[in-house]
Amino acid sequence: QLVVITGGLGPTHDDCTKEALAKFTKRKLSFHKETAELVEKKLLERGVRISNERFLGAYQPEGMEILKNPIGTAPGLRFSHRGTEFFVFPGVPVEMEVMAEQYLIPYLEKVSRERRTIKVIRTFQLPESKINELLEPVIEEFPLLDVAFLPRHISNDIVINAPSEEKISLDRFVEEAKRALGEKIYGYDEDTMESTVGKLLRDKNLTLSVAESCTGGLVSNRITNIPGSSEYFMGGIVSYDNSVKINILKVKAETIEKYGAVSEQTAMEMAEGLRKVLGTDIGVSTTGIAGPSGGTKDKPVGTVWVGYSDREKAFAKKFIVNYNRELNKLIFSQLCLDTLRVELLREKGEGK
């Protein structure tokens, strides 16, 4: 029996988890000096002085194990009561996550009898129905594997949950899925589009610059979420105003006048211009209409041009997707990274 509780461990009047647990287990709450000192120290680091022990959240039910919180101020608790194991974590999602990984997962691994292996295949630019159509024969071939589809807007994931003794079937399933889905697969398990692109750039020893209009910095942001991205990512320009496209990216004013800021030509010139200005091997760009306004009949909201340029070629591709502003930006950024990924698969490595 296992109970996991999250939230309500803080120092404020609405945090009553510890009181409730003390009552439930008939234990006393008592002042816990180590917690108080730890919280006080963390608050002082953030420039806040509080010595009121109540506001430090330093009362703990007696005799429970206090689980150190590596991120926030409130520690967690662990105890067992009438044969049930209790884990109590803070509610702040990132703290809960870190602490579950540190305390709960090892416990579960220790006590769980059945071992299963989970493999995730991540695809983009194929709808769920098409993936199902392509994989149906493979799924039927391996009835002992539990295959689920998790569609999201920037990834259609195939999750295979297998008993550990089916490891060989699982490997064969993945091999056959690879054959069926080809380069639509951008990664496995923890891979993201930006981590895959990063690996390809690093392996091929190529440098990248990004010129963004409608994505407003999101492509650069995602690329730089990867530790060590400074090795291949030199920099980006968010050219929200056309003057920035012309003055910094060296897009010709005539190009914007003749074809518009959202056009194949502008996307190409943005990618090529920034690549030359920053002296990188590859440049990519986005220009489009994220909405909710700004659309026209010819260029509806959701239209995006993704530009690509390297030393040998330049091109731009058009996509239309329209959900809402933030989701449009996210999908546009994924389309840009995916265009780059597919080109990198073809690209031969060159030095920077």
Strands 303-310, 233-238: pairing is unpaired
> Which amino acid does the sequence have at 313?
K
The DSSP call for residue 153 is T
Closest CA to 196 of 187, 204, 205: 187
| Count of residues that bind a second copy according to CB under 8 A | 80
* Binders of a second copy in range 269-328 (CB under 8 A): 277-279, 290-293, 320-321, 323-327
| 244-to-222, 274, 313 alpha-carbon distances in Å | 22, 11, 24
Per CB under 8 A, contacts with a second copy among 159-188 are none
Among 63, 230, 300, 313, binds a second copy (CB under 8 A): 230
Which one among 38, 88, 160, 210 touches a second copy, defined by CB under 8 A?
Answer: 210
Minimum distance, C-beta of residue 145 to a second copy, in the bound complex (Å) = 12
The token pair that represents 118 in the structure block: 């989970």
Decide if residue 233 touches a second copy (CB under 8 A): yes
> Does position 352 bind a second copy by CB under 8 A?
no
Instruction: Give the residue among 142, 186, 131, 132 at the shortest CA–CA distance from 166.
Output: 142
Residues 49-78 that bind a second copy (CB under 8 A): 50, 52, 55-57, 71, 73
Nearest to 284 by CA among 302, 301, 268, 298: 268
Q: Does 223 bind a second copy (CB under 8 A)?
A: yes
SS (H, E, C) 100-140: HHHHHHHHHHHHCCCCEEEEEEEECCCCHHHHHHHHHHHHH
Question: What is the smallest separation between the CB atom of 217 and a second copy, expressed in angstroms?
Answer: 3
261 binds a second copy (CB under 8 A): no
157 binds a second copy (CB under 8 A): no
237 three-state secondary structure: strand
Residue 25 vs 132, nearer CB to a second copy: 132
For residue 238, report the phi and psi dihedrals to the nearest 5 degrees. Answer: -100, 105
- The answer to whether residue 198 forms part of the interface with a second copy (CB under 8 A) is no
Binds a second copy by CB under 8 A, chosen from 14, 109, 114, 190: 14
Based on the shown chain and the rule CB under 8 A, indicate whether residue 126 belongs to the binding site for a second copy. yes
Q: In this structure, are residues 267 and 261 in contact, taking their beta carbons and an 8 Å threshold?
A: no
Residue among 183 and 241 whose Cβ is closer to a second copy? 241
- Name residues contacting a second copy, limited to 80-99 (CB under 8 A): 92, 94
Closer Cβ to a second copy, 25 or 120, answer by number: 120
Give least dist CB 187 to a second copy, A.
18
The closest of 303, 286, 105, 275 to 206, measured between CA atoms, is 275
Q: Which two tokens stand for residue 24?
A: 């439930």
